[in-house]
Structures are given as C-alpha cells and as structure tokens.
Amino acid sequence: MVYDNKAIGVIGGMGPAATADLFTKLVSLEDAAADQDHVRILVDCDSNIPDRAAAIAGTGESPVPEMVRSAVGLEKQGADVLIMGCNVAHYFYRDILPFVNIPFLSILDETCRAVRDAGYKKVALLACGMTLKSGVYLEAMDRFGIDCIRTTAEEQACFDCLIYDGIKKGDHGIDVTDIRKAVGRLTAEGAEALVLGCTELPVAFDEYGIGADVPLIDPTSEIAKSALRYLGRKIRDE
C-alpha cells in the first residue's frame, strides 16, 4: 500500500502523557500493515506552553504565543493538518487560527460530531474544572443539540485530583472510589455516555478500569480518527 507523504502535526505537551496517548492512538487506529503504511506524524511535545487553566482564570501567562510558535513550526516542517489533544487549550483555538495556513481540526467539534453520530442525546461531561468553567464544551454541545449532565462540586474535586495529582504527577495510587460513585450517579440520572473531556481522563480510565460498563466517548480517539480521515487514511475496523 503506497500513500503520499502528507503529515499530521500535533501541538503537544499539554500534558506529555496525554500527548503520548494521542500519538499511540494515531498509530493504533490507522489500518496499516507495515511501517511504510503509516501516516507521517510530527509531534511538538512543547512543555513550555504555560498552564491553560491559570491563563483562563487570569492568574497565569497566556499560552497563545507558545502555542502559535508550535503551530507555525509544525506547518513549516511539513504538516498538512493540525490537531491539539488538550481539551481546555481549545479555549484559545480561535486565537491560533489566523497564524496558520493549513486546516486545524477542533477536538470539541469532532467529539460532539461523534456523540451525535452515535445517536446519544444526553451525555455526562467529565473534565477538569476549568474546562467546565470556560464553557467551551458546553457551547459546542449546544451547537450540536446535545444535552449535558454536570458533575457536582464534590465530584469535580475528585476528577481534578485524578487529573492533576494522578496522571500529570505520575501518581498511580489515587483512590478512585468516589470517581466510580460519580459515574454511577451520572448514568443513573440519564447519561447515555460519558465524554472524557480532559486528555488525561482516557489515560486514567484505562489505567484504573473505570467505566468499563458505560459507553465512553474519548475525544483523543475522535480527533485522531478525524485527522487520519482528513488525509484519506483508513481507520482500523471501520
């Protein structure tokens, strides 16, 4: 099988584990039988990008200049399409667009499209607190006609702990008892699926075996599949 040399550019480093997960999914989701069948992937795991949550809260430096540097650099290296795994970073998505001349796919839109195409009308949105406060996912879900169930303040504290103290810090001993209870409550209240709207959550849910009996929408997988399809690549098992 012979393909052209078109490439996917990944604005990464937000965080590094999530970037590694996105790269792994780009590789594993593509229907390829040999090294040469795989798409070319350019990854800038730029850990110098300032904290997005702090910037949105007004307590930290804007990440936009460094994100733009990454995007422009990937384009110059030959990327034909850009993606960014970090969900909350899409708060700044429109600030980056004017600086690039290649398509830049939105993880928010691709995730909502996947929810709609799966036929789900009501989902629970799981994410870091600032993603929820920023409203980026809620605005996208509203555009796609998707109802959203939210976590309580107590539940959200548990998810933030799992994201920041667990995956980002590399602590693999986080107690997820209350996370499991939250998942049970959300599904009991009518959530047909869980949207794992923080890039660390698919990593955590897989590591801890959370939500095995609940439909999960993994934005990392959805943006990976969308980028592959954009370049005409085949998705495994589709």
pLDDT tier for residue 117 given thresholds of 50, 70 and 90: very high
Residue 60: helix, strand or coil by DSSP? Answer: coil
Q: Which domain holds residue 117?
A: 108-218
Residue 197: helix, strand or coil by DSSP? Answer: coil
Domain count, the chain: 2
Among residues 63, 68, 60, 69, which one has the least CA distance to residue 14?
Answer: 63
Q: What does the mean pLDDT of the chain come to?
A: 94
CA distances from residue 40 to 56, 131, 231 in whole angstroms, order as listed: 33, 30, 10
Same structural domain, 63 and 83: yes
For residue 77, which amino acid is it?
Q
How much of the chain exceeds pLDDT 90, in percent?
85
- Predicted pLDDT at 199: 86
Of 132 and 80, which is predicted with more confidence?
80
CA distances from residue 192 to 2, 124, 183 in whole angstroms, order as listed: 40, 8, 11
Residue 81: helix, strand or coil by DSSP? Answer: strand
What's the farthest any 2 CA atoms get from each other in the chain? 52
Asked whether 42 and 12 are in contact (CB, 8 A), the reply is no
Q: What angle do CA 168, 217, 121 make, to 5 degrees?
A: 135
Same structural domain, 178 and 112: yes
Tokens representing residue 175 in the block: 């107690």
Domain assignment present for residue 1? The answer is no
- Residues belonging to the active site: 86, 198
Asked whether 176 and 208 are in contact (CB, 8 A), the reply is yes
Asked whether 125 and 197 are in contact (CB, 8 A), the reply is yes
CATH code at 66?
3.40.50.1860
Same structural domain, 141 and 163: yes
DSSP conformational letter for 13: -
Same structural domain, 90 and 179: no
pLDDT in tens, 179-223: 999 999 999 999 999 999 998 899 899 999 998 889 999 999 999
Domain assignment present for residue 57? The answer is yes
The model's pTM: 0.91
- Helix and strand numbers, DSSP H then E, in the chain: 11, 7
